[in-house]
Amino acid sequence: KGDYKIAEWAVKTLDSKPKGPFFLSAGFFLPHVPCFATEKWFDMHPVDKTQLAQIKRDDRKDTPRFSWYMHWSLPEPRLRWLEEHNEWMNLTRSYLACTTFVDAQIGKLMEALERNGFADNTIVVLWSDHGWHLGEKNHWHKSTLWEEATRVPFIIATPGMKQAGQSSSRPVNLVSIYPTLVGLLDLESDIDFDGPDLAPLLDNPNAAWPHASLIDFGYGNTAVRDEHWRYIRYNDGTEELYDHQTDPNEWKN
Using CA atoms, how far apart are residues 26 and 22, in angstroms rounded to an integer?
A: 13
Using CA atoms, how far apart are residues 94 and 37, in angstroms rounded to an integer?
A: 7
Q: Are β-strands 229-233 and 239-243 bridged in parallel, bridged antiparallel, or unpaired?
A: antiparallel
Q: Any bridge partners for residue 125, and if so which?
A: 156
Spell out the per-residue pLDDT of the chain, length 253, in tens.
Answer: 799 999 999 999 999 999 999 999 999 999 999 999 999 999 999 999 999 999 999 999 999 988 877 665 555 667 888 999 999 999 999 999 999 999 999 999 999 999 999 999 999 999 999 999 999 998 888 889 999 999 999 999 999 898 899 999 999 999 999 999 999 999 999 989 999 999 999 999 999 999 999 999 989 999 999 999 999 999 999 999 999 999 999 999 9
Using CA atoms, how far apart are residues 212 and 223, in angstroms rounded to an integer?
A: 10
What single-letter DSSP state applies at residue 51? Answer: P
Cβ atoms within 10 Å of 191's Cβ, excluding its own: 8
The DSSP element (H or E) to which 15 belongs, if any, is helix 2-15
Task: Report the half-sphere exposure of 35 (CA within 13 A, side-chain side).
Answer: 19
Q: Are β-strands 154-157 and 124-127 bridged in parallel, bridged antiparallel, or unpaired?
A: antiparallel
Question: Rounded to two decimals, what is the model's pTM?
Answer: 0.92
Using CA atoms, how far apart are residues 7 and 29, in angstroms rounded to an integer?
A: 11
Q: Percent helix, strand and coil across the chain, each rounded to 5? A: 35, 10, 55
Looking at the chain, how many residues does it have? 253
Three-state DSSP class for residue 24: coil
